[in-house]
Structure 1
Amino acid sequence: MTDRPRGGLVALCAAQIVSWGLLYYSLPVAVAPISAETGWSHTVITAALSAGLVVSAVAGIRVGRLLDGHGPRAVMTTGSVLGVGAMLLVAWSPNLLMFFTAWLVAGLAQSAVLYPSAFAVITRWYGPRRVGPLTTLTLVGGLASTVFAPFVAYLIDQFGWRMSYLVIAGILAVVTVPLHALFLNGRWTDTVGASPHENPSAEIRAVTRSRQFITLQVTMAVATFTLFAVTINIIPMFLERGMSYGMAALALGLIGVGQVVGRIGYPQFARATSARARTVVIFAAGAVGLWALALLPGPGWLLITVAVLAGSVRGCHTLLQATAVSDRWGTKHFGTINGIFTAPMTFVGAFAPVAGPAVASLLGGYPMMAAVMAALLTGAAILTSRT
């Protein structure tokens, strides 16, 4: 456990909600206005965000090593500066190529400032007492869309999308850059990292090439993909079930409430279970929820209840991801190992929103898509229980 700067957790939480709200959620809000002005399709615009997330997944491995070796201040401050530059590029983009380039730069910024990096910092700060602060961080970060989606929509309505992205860049500059520069460690002062007599690379490889690590990495990626693909597409799924658009939209909002509830309950759940047991339980609960969404024809209140429960599983899954490495292999070289561990999850998360509709189109409906995702998550639960 390393020395914590005064106000560090509050600063990190504030930086997370702003970074998530503007570097991630701003584009889904802006898709329609950008398309209307430029003529670019919604799919192509959304693909820019997905491309950035792929960059984030790849860059996150290197970011983890930098966090271990040099501390978070320079890494996360640089990420914030890159985020400012990316949003300025988005505002200026004269063509689709520059627009994509801007979101690729945003992906680099995301790799340095979003959850994986913040998880590494909190794990180093709090050591064995990390679950509570991690819960706080994800609860605050989970409010990003609630706070910033309507804010970004208001900006676009008042000033247009290009001027709005200039404002977004300004907010990132005056909020996240100083928070990271002033409230994070310049260098680590503890001895969690490697000593001169150790071989860090060999120790890291011993973990990341182990059968347990690879199995957990694959099953966590499957859980990320399946839960996200179904819950993010809950509106068209419920429309197919005969629900009104208003009720379906309400269900999507309540999934967010479910995530918050899941995160609040996670610390007590973690204290009562082993790392393996809680992983199996969360995966199994998610699979049951997806099977129910696939097979239940109604009534509407029951479908919404199941959707909220699926949301709570997603909330637990976020904290499961944050603690999976440290629970099994400790906090030594955490940034590096966790960067490798989370890369596939970030990668599949980039494609899950579009994979859902694609699979539904191929199989003839969203319930069948949910059934496929449920089968995959069931397999992940079984594999985890045997590892």
Structure 2
Amino acid sequence: MKLTVVGGGSTYTPELIDGFARLRDTLPIEELVLVDPAAERLELVGGLARRIFARQGHPGRIVTTSDLDAGVEGADAVLLQLRVGGQAARRQDETWPLECGCIGQETTGAGGLAKALRTVPVVLEIAERVRRANPRAWIIDFTNPVGIVTRALLQAGHRAVGLCNVAIGFQRKFAALLGTDPKDVHLDHVGLNHLTWETGVRLGGPEGANVLPKLLAENGDAIADDLRLPRPLLDRLGVVPSYYLRYYYAHDAVVRELRTKPSRAEEVAAMERELLTMYGDPSLDEKPALLARRGGAFYSEAAVDLAAALLGGAGSPYQVVNTLNRGTLPFLPDDAVIEVQAAVGPTGPVPLPVPDLDPLYAGLVANVTTYEDLALEAALRGGRDRVFRALLAHPLIGQYEYAEPLTGQLITHNREHLAWA
């Protein structure tokens, strides 16, 4: 089995490598190719990757290359984890929207739209080259904004599935609180990427007993603290929203907070410099503890599970993925991309049935889906008016006096990445 990681020079990658090494019986990789145009970073990451494999006795071969076509040739699956513009572009995404009193965040609001506009054309070009190399290869997208990018891939006819680590993070946390094996925890996870709710927590599988009320009653304070949302809100909702719902449920408070501290991009950039220094140490042969603060917790386990299931291996039968709606949420178009539990196998994911969604959540999902439609149109076709329409449609913006200046700021800060600008 050959697996390729595009964006293999990311400081995330050792987390992925560690999972591949530990879970080699689930996903028996013979050749792992790390592709990245940043040669210096790639060699540092690649060196550590080889040492991790060696320490854990993995027999697979690790190859590093800046040649995309050579890297994806014959690959059974290709993981995408790229960041167009790097942390510098992310820092812009997180700062200029604050000037208008709007959330500055890399996947949500105006910053999320900027990232989509930079990313979608690049990902589609990569996907076409993957298809030429092997039309049967699966593309696993971990590149944000995952929902929009995955929809672009599926709309273009690629064999693609979107992946996010929010659900597996909740699964692990809930398992720890319940004192049980994470494999026994099944989430009723529903919504869009970075706009989801856990409406049930079941033990043993989709038909298991729902222990979410008990979980909230006994551990509500800890869960609320982790989400940085008030406990009374969780009690009133009776569900667990993802961390990203804080941008909606506490928008103004988050804007005030973001204006008083360094951007997350600045924090990550400092961490990356330290991590890359560590990766260059020839005695290091395991992922460093600092990597846990970089983000992407449990990404490796989720990626291994998904790739194994898609390639006919030993992956879990039910997984939370980003895939086509196909009537799962009847108030959305069939070609919308949703994030739900699905049965995953070699023919791809099939969403599990979802009970009628509370209007409180369904309304927001419908609104953000409309924004994502317009965002994808802007990413594919360009144009100032399309950018403006997407911003005006976003529920975190929604006013002309914000959408108009944000349009100008977005184009100004991203001109080098926008072919049409």
Asked whether the two chains share a fold, i.e. TM above 0.5, the reply is: no
TM-score scaled by length of structure 1: 0.31
Q: What's the TM-score, normalizing by structure 2?
A: 0.29
Higher helix share: 1
